[in-house]
Amino acid sequence: MKHLWAPWRMTYLECKDKQAKDCCVFCVRDIVGEDAERLILWRGRHAFVVMNKFPYTNGHLLIAPYRHIPDILDLEPEESAEMLLLLRRCRMVMQQCLKPQGFNIGMNLGKIAGAGVADHLHMHIVPRWTGDTNFMPVFAEVRVIPQHLEETYAILLEGFKSVPDEVGCRCPD
């Protein structure tokens, strides 16, 4: 048997036994000074953009409201509007910086639908390229990500700074 070590996942696993809101990775509104280590790329008034620490492909981003809500029907109109504007911004930044050939965009509502964090609504935007998947996920249950998260973060952070703002958002400090 071969082992793939991923010690950074322990924090995620330990949180599974605690109350959801106490250790929710998306409850970051009042957390300051940790945006780079949390991979937060952009903060808006009602929602924010963060890189997925367990991406499907390089540059996989998540958009979430600050409020800890589980369903799209729980969104206030301002949150819903800002999330869509952030989705547009993410797409522009990714096109400029990563040059993908396509995108998967969506939400998994509820655990049964595949939501890894079912209690806090979030949207995925996954850049796609020809050949970005191969036999590894099928035979070894392993995804090959060609670029380190920190390197992708730096590239995308610069992209977020250069794309015009639609909703009064700001890049993390």
pLDDT per residue over 33-89, tens digit each?
A: 999 999 999 999 999 999 998 888 889 999 999 999 999 999 999 999 999 999 999
Long-range contacts of 64-68 (CB under 8 A, 24+ apart): 64/26, 64/120, 64/121, 64/122, 64/123, 65/121, 66/27, 66/28, 66/29, 68/20, 68/21, 68/24, 68/26, 68/27, 68/119, 68/120
Q: Please state the domain extents for the chain.
A: 20-162
pLDDT single digits (tens) 89-130:
999 999 999 999 999 999 999 899 888 888 999 999 999 988
CATH T-level assignment (fold) for domain 20-162: HIT family, subunit A (3.30.428)
- Catalytic positions, written as ranges: 122
Q: Which two tokens stand for residue 54?
A: 């367990």
What does pTM read for this prediction?
0.80
**Count of residues making up the chain:** 173
